Amino acid sequence: MIDQKILDMKEEIIKSVQDSVKIRSVEEEPKDGMPFGKGVHNSLIHCLNLSESLGFKAVNVDNMIGYAEYGQGDEMVAILGHLDVVPEGEGWTYPPYAAEIHNGKIYGRGTTDDKGPTIGALYALKAIKDLNIPLKRRVRVFFGLNEETGSNCVKYYVEKGEEMPVCGFTPDAEYPIINGEKGIVTCKYTRKLNQSGDMILKSVKGGIAANVVPDFAEAEIIVAGNNKEIKKLSDKTEDIKIEEKENSIIIKCHGVSAHGSTPEKGKNAISYLMKFLERLNFTGDFKEFLDYYNEYIGTDLNGESLGIYLEDDISGKLIFNLGTVLGNENELSFEINIRYPVKKTFEDFNDTFKEKMELGKFKEVYLRHKKSLYVSPDTEFIKKLQKVYEEQFGEKAELISIGGGTYAKAMKNIVAFGPIMKGQPMVEHKPDEYIEIDSLMKNVQVMAAAIKELAN
């Protein structure tokens, strides 16, 4: 009955997802009443208006976060979605904010991460409301606005003393059920340069965010003399291209984008660019930097070169991703994303990490830390989600730990549940992000079943 009701709303669900994806909700500079910028704010207002049109109570919490609420009862179940997205980057086949449909897929930034599932949760709740399915607990579908860059939206909600859920989930990872999430450190460092010699770095840039494997990086080099040797080297190096200007050369490196939690699925263009630059005839300060970079960072994905490698039997190895670089003749800056195992702590590696960064003459600009998460398999709502998964997919609901980070870290009694199904590719944070329409509809059905189970 509930599954058919959801299928009957298919075209409405698709259109609502498209409308949301068409709003470019990358965090920008704050404006009056818009703490995360205009695009993110517009996305919130869109979802609040949609919630009211679907018959829900819609609440805007100081423009920091919003939610739709339905039902009666003293206790509340939460579904935490987010509307902010990472920058689109380059390399798209279809426009990143057009929400075009091709071959049964909606393409666009945020389709999977996390607008599609968030809008889907609204319609899962609408199906329950329209069918008058009894619930003992109220249900809130949250519209987070800062998940990609710190989860300050949920932190604000919690610190303000708003009502906490007795249980819930965030549809922002994968199935079956994620009861463990690695701790996450996101940081930025700068290094001054005092260059000299016949070869000078004029500029360097690459990457779109700390938690994305960069698929492109380029450096402009001022060279005194002939460029033939550099061109010979580039001809022998895959993914390196040279462009000559009047007084300089531009060296471009192409890599493969991936989520920062799975860097092994990508190819870090910044690291491969630095590896190539080390072969050139730099001297002095920048040569010192290149030697440091390739010895202690390079293409290492697990922090071994920095001496910060950690591992446990639940969530595996520490993950290291250098996501962005930006620099000129006088200064370089990097953004780094580190994900450490659930049984380990920040203190297990932080001192060593800071010592190594000081060794490279780097100065910390900021460092944000989210502790690891682990919810016992014996928890009642975990067992309820396992029941839902097994009924919906006809297979055992294994509990898994991931390197990715979700809102489960920011609010108690929450775990990640969906939307990516077994065997589906990870397309979030990549060019041509999409959600299959069939998968979207199945997710709405699963979320409706989960809401029904958790709210009773």
* 403-421 pLDDT per residue, tens: 877 899 899 999 999 999 9
Residue 181 among the catalytic residues: no
Per the prediction, the chain carries an average pLDDT of 94
Tell me the C-alpha to C-alpha distance, in Å, between residue 367 and each of 60, 203, 335, 339, 382.
29, 25, 10, 13, 32
Helix boundaries (H) for 10-134? 10-21, 38-53, 115-130
Give, rounded to a whole angstrom, the gap between the first and last alpha carbons of the chain: 18
* Bond into 425 cis (ω within 30): no
Residue indicated by tokens 């779109």: 208
Beta strand pairing call for 240-244 and 248-254: antiparallel
pLDDT for 231: 65
Reply yes or no on whether the pLDDT at 172 is more than 90: yes
Beta-ladder partners of 368: 186
Reply yes or no on whether the pLDDT at 226 is more than 70: no
Catalytic-labelled residue, pool 88, 113, 147, 148: 147
Domains and CATH numbers, the chain: 2-182+373-454 (3.40.630.10), 184-370 (3.30.70.360)
- For the whole model, what pTM was predicted? 0.76
How is residue 344 annotated by DSSP?
S
Beta strand pairing call for 319-328 and 331-340: antiparallel
* 92-127 pLDDT per residue, tens: 999 999 999 999 999 999 999 999 999 999 999 999
Tokens representing 278 are 């080390």
Catalytic-labelled residue, pool 27, 84, 114, 148: 84
Q: How many CA atoms lie within 13 A of 358 on its CB side?
A: 6
pLDDT for 197: 84
Residue 147 among the catalytic residues: yes
